[in-house]
Amino acid sequence: MNDTVSLLEARDVMKYFGDDRRPVLEHVSVELNQGEFVALLGPSGSGKSTLLRILAGLMKPSSGDVRVHGAPLDGPNPNVAIVFQSFALFPWLDVLQNVELGLLSIEMSDDDRRQRAVKAIDLIGLDGFEEAFPIELSGGMKQRVGFARALVVQPEVLFMDEPFSALDVLTAENLRTELQDLWLAKTMPTKAVVMVTHNIDEAVSLADRILVFGANPGHIRVELKGLPPSDRTTKSAARARLVELIYRIMTNPDDDAMAIVEHSQLDRPRAVASPRAGRRPAPARARRYQVLPDVGIDDVTGLVQYIGGIGGHAAVHDLSRDLQMRTDDLLSIVEATNLLGFGALQDRQVVLTPIGTRFADSELDEEKAIFRAQALDHIALLHHIVRDLETTPTHTLEAERVIDQLEHSFSGEEARRQFETAVDWGRYAELFTYDDSSGELTLDEEHRPT
């Protein structure tokens, strides 16, 4: 397919937001070819939804360009339909009117429009719901309307932005299978599909090609080849290996993804180092602080105690199922336990360290003492804040000063988030108190040097 012009292409796209020109996408190039199902996979904040919107012409890239069949795109992409995470149905229109909405801008008679809409509604399994209003439908049914509205315009490219993540597990599975059948049976005239997701299983089940994104700022870390359809069933070994590889890549955000791929025990190389996507330049600045994942302290202590209660180790997959949590959320919490020295990710298993096991078994007072020690030893930011608090005569510190410091290592918004996470953890550890209205940190009285 080397000589054919791609359906849709982004070349070296950059995107900045806000006045401080905070980058959300850096040097991203993607090409979409006929017959492909591409998944954009990554943690939140990695710019994958932004890329989708740039490809759809809903946003302009700050630099770089988007080409449709080789011609530069200006304004909304005419060949694209989108299925949205929140369904984006118009609550005051019934199912039929919502589906017809996609056809309004196309010149045709009212009867033709109605016929096409009814056909799309039948195709997606909504027969009999034409007169229903969105509010009468369950989430799964709503998303079916979303699909019907997208498919009725017979788009050349179908975009899906986290289409299943607002649905409960069973409904999502059901809808995903139906979509897969439609796609593989070529029942829809659509030539290519792009799906944004944070769900590894979802990407592996559906995609021919998986682009793994990294955050801060968003970039493509690696491009992986999907499985042949026959291997996509839940039980296959190839599938398990690919899922594991992606887990490993996503849980090691600072490592070179290509190295992980080469290191993995795959039978044949699946990764394609796309020359244009390139490798990320080596981290420009050595970070003074670790990146604290944006997770509440209750989730961290809760997870450690839960794993402690079931024998000290658990597979990520089982945890995700038993705790009803999204994989990426779970991995953020695991990352936090890792930073604190309570647990580590080994071979898709979360394993508690001895200190983690002690933490899980102890009473509240001891628990806090352990946490305090671990936080001070392992979290550089907390260590520095406490050191500064101890050395100032008033034992207070202004939040803005800490945030200013953090801005050497993080973007403005990220710096604030890092600070908030540190405050959450530090308060729990009883290292200091924080008054939100005055923006002042005060050293906890028990720990003041005498």
Partner 1 sequence: MAQPIVPVRATMIRDASRDQPGAPPTPRWVDALMLCAVAAVAYGIMRAAAEWRAPLSPNVQVSLSPRELPYYAGLSTLRMAIAYVLSLVFSIAYARIAAGSRTAERFMIPLLDILQSVPILSFMPGVVLGLAALFPGRTLGLELAAIILIFTSQAWNLAFSFHQSLLTIPRELSEAATVYHLGFWRRFTRLELPFGAISLIANSMMSWAGGWFFLMASEQFTLGANNLRLPGLGSYLAAAADAGDTHALFLGLATLVAVIVLLDQLLWRPLVAWSDRFKLEQSGGDAPQSRLLDLLRGSALLEWVSARVTHPLTRALDRRLGTPPTAKRARRELHDDAVSRFLRWAPALIALALVVWGAFAAARALAGLGMSDWELIAVSAGATFLRTTIALILAAAWTIPVGVAIGMNPRWARRAQPLVQITASVPATAVFPVLLLALLTLPGGLNIAAVALMLLGTQWYVLFNVIAGAMAIPSDLRDVAASYHVTGWRRWKTLILPAIFPYLVTGMITATGGAWNASIISEYVTFAGHKQSTVGLGSLIAQAAEHSDFHLLLAGTLVMAAIVIAGNRLVWRRLYALAEARYRLD
Residues forming the site for partner 1 (CB under 8 A): 53, 56, 58, 75-76, 78, 80-82, 84-88, 90-93, 101-102, 104-107, 110, 131, 133, 135-141, 149, 153, 161, 167-169, 171, 294-296, 299, 323-326, 329-330, 332-333
Q: How far is the CB of 132 from partner 1 (least distance, A)?
A: 9
Q: How far is the CB of 40 from partner 1 (least distance, A)?
A: 17
Considering the complex, state which of residue 121 and residue 386 has its C-beta at the smaller distance from partner 1.
121
Q: What is the DSSP string of 242-291?
A: HHHHHHHHHH-TTS-HHHHHHHS--SS--B---TTT-PPPP-SS--SS--
Cα dist from 398 to 348, 366, 431, whole Å:
41, 30, 15
Rounded to whole angstroms, the Cα distance separating 370 from 35 reads 55
Q: How far is the CB of 104 from partner 1 (least distance, A)?
A: 6
Rounded to whole angstroms, the Cα distance separating 157 from 441 reads 52
Q: How far is the CB of 416 from partner 1 (least distance, A)?
A: 15
- What's the longest Cα–Cα distance across the chain? 85
Considering the complex, state which of residue 293 and residue 308 has its C-beta at the smaller distance from partner 1.
293
Closest C-alpha among 212, 293, 218 to residue 257:
212
E strand or H helix at 213? strand 209-214
Q: Which DSSP state fits 187?
A: -
Considering the complex, state which of residue 153 and residue 222 has its C-beta at the smaller distance from partner 1.
153
Considering the complex, state which of residue 110 and residue 267 has its C-beta at the smaller distance from partner 1.
110
User: What is the amino acid identity at position 441?
Assistant: L
What is the number of other CB atoms lying within 10 angstroms of the CB of residue 87? 21
Considering the complex, state which of residue 72 and residue 91 has its C-beta at the smaller distance from partner 1.
91
Q: How far is the CB of 76 from partner 1 (least distance, A)?
A: 5
Q: How far is the CB of 301 from partner 1 (least distance, A)?
A: 12
User: CB-based burial of residue 60 (10 Å sphere; 0-12 exposed, 13-18 middle, 19+ buried)?
Assistant: middle
Classified as helix, coil or strand, 195 is strand
Considering the complex, state which of residue 92 and residue 259 has its C-beta at the smaller distance from partner 1.
92
